[in-house]
Structure 1
């Protein structure tokens, strides 16, 4: 079954008014179509997809095993359209039968659509994570020399030669100051340190967001991180006295027509901040800010137009830290677990 093109076009126009940074509306994915009628006789629709992740899939570290994901197509309808569609979704879940405990209903919607928020909350969905973006600040151009009409001062003595005196011994590298922070690129040899920091972030996030600390987490993380480091993926460690105390593990992603990223980000090459972790004993001293300033500079140097990441609004650390680094929500991922708890 196809979805009305008019709904897609009207929703694209509404999104552009909500937030100019949202990408152009893409055609809806394949899946089961749900429709709902509004009191004025108009209709809204949504495409429902079901996915069951394999037990050894890394996706189970940030997702329920069974996921029902809805892509709403509300056209120009606001809260009333969202409410009607969610009621229809609840009816569809009733016909499916009891959901597994490790399941979820998920919906991603523009963060700035406050009108739809009320309907989402009323149906039991929770804003567990957001996709936040940060544009790189413009690079300042070269300063133009100032032209003055002041005549040169006559008989100005020549500037003395300040070149090094011959036979001056070369300047030696200064050894690191004890306790000073050193930021460097992570290599495959750092996989144990990177894994330790990544697991610390996962365990904390599991208390305050959609992350799940599963028994397979260490093995899945080690495999994934080893592959990324071996491929030269951008990752940086902050060290103090040779001990890794913070990690920024990133990636380079291109948003172009036809790929999944283009449904979430404007066209261009983006830096993806996958995991930032500071060990508990090292928090509160500005290490994370210094590490991310370094990562932002390096990702900009690699030709990205900006960076994006996921963070959990219920997280008392990241919900404060990331806005201070210049990030702001673009999309909110609404979720309810288990799937049968949808109202």
Structure 2
């Protein structure tokens, strides 16, 4: 079966699973990538393994291993889990040839539709864990105008004087998420965050807001509007895609309504500019963010299954 037929079967199968998944094209070979295929009876899998690197000082480095081997898979046939298992066997053979054993800065990652559950047990048996999720929230166009008021909370665009507060909140968020394997704390993180957030200040169309609780700045939210989200917009079947980059609330203000007020404000801003869906990443094991975001109308769309190190040392 050729790659286009496999992709067509894969897309047809997933169309019954999640209407917000985009059409998934055939996996075409690209420079530096390795094409893989496997069969299991009448079921077939096609895969593409892509290796990427990030410098330790890059903005992306806290959110990934410095070297990542990512497998894109297309599965078709009556037993997709068996096809995936066979594909993972082929991929493991490849990884053992190219990845240093026991290197915690080398990860193997499989990004799968969250509702495509066949194959989950096979990933777990091979040492993969569901670490990160892309969650989706369709626009709520029937909502009343404006978010509900939270006593004592005032939300305003961030100003230059808020930079230190925003950096501190982002660092606090990274330190908390590091407990769940979705963040690696890096030297120079404060400098990288400062440079990144500085670009958000003073924009005519604000993308960074501060929440004050009785006059104290204790929370923030960052967003990307449609037109800035091409890097992730292909992950959902929608044209106008917004992205909620981060939402952080200082420890003393948690459970005070600040987080919900910030989320409601961001959703109002997205709705006002005609956003169809909003995406965000969150650590699946985080006992705060997972129930919080799903209480705000999000649900899992894609799940990042990760094994880090990519290859374990032989015992």
TM-score, normalization by structure 1: 0.82
Q: Secondary structure at the match of 2:86?
A: helix
Tell me the residue number matched to 1:193.
165
Are 1:250 and 2:252 matched, yes or no? no
Deviations 1:4-25 (A, max 9, x none): 1111111111111111111111
Instruction: Call closer, same or farther: CA 1:75–1:43 in 2, change over 3 Å.
Output: closer
Which residues of structure 2 form unaligned runs of 5+?
145-150
- Kindly report which structure 2 residues correspond to 1:127-206, keeping only aligned pairs within 5 A, or say none: 127-139=130-142, 180-206=152-178
Instruction: Call closer, same or farther: CA 1:111–1:255 in 2, change over 3 Å.
Output: farther
Q: Secondary structure at the match of 1:253?
A: coil
Tell me the residue number matched to 2:209.
236
Deviations 1:73-132 (A, max 9, x none): 222341101111111111111222524331100111010112221111111111101110
Instruction: Call closer, same or farther: CA 1:128–1:140 in 2, change over 3 Å.
Output: closer
Tell me the residue number matched to 1:66.
67
Instruction: Call closer, same or farther: CA 1:46–1:79 in 2, change over 3 Å.
Output: same
Deviation at 1:240, TM superposition (A): 2.3
Q: Secondary structure at the match of 2:118?
A: helix
Deviation at 1:279, TM superposition (A): 0.6
Deviation at 1:328, TM superposition (A): 0.4
Rg larger in 1 or in 2? Answer: 1
Tell me the residue number matched to 1:317.
288
Deviation at 1:294, TM superposition (A): 1.5
Q: Secondary structure at the match of 1:70?
A: strand
Which residues of structure 1 form unaligned runs of 5+?
142-178
- Kindly report which structure 2 residues correspond to 1:59-138, keeping only aligned pairs within 5 A, or say none: 59-76=60-77, 77-99=79-101, 100-138=103-141
Higher alpha-carbon deviation: 295-304 or 59-68 = 295-304
Deviation at 1:57, TM superposition (A): 1.1
RMSD: 2.3
CA contact (8 A) 1:255 1:267 kept: no
- Kindly report which structure 2 residues correspond to 1:262-341, keeping only aligned pairs within 5 A, or say none: 262-341=233-312
Higher alpha-carbon deviation: 106-115 or 260-269 = 260-269
The total of aligned residue pairs comes to: 302
Q: Secondary structure at the match of 1:250?
A: strand
CA contact (8 A) 1:247 1:276 kept: yes
Tell me the residue number matched to 1:48.
49
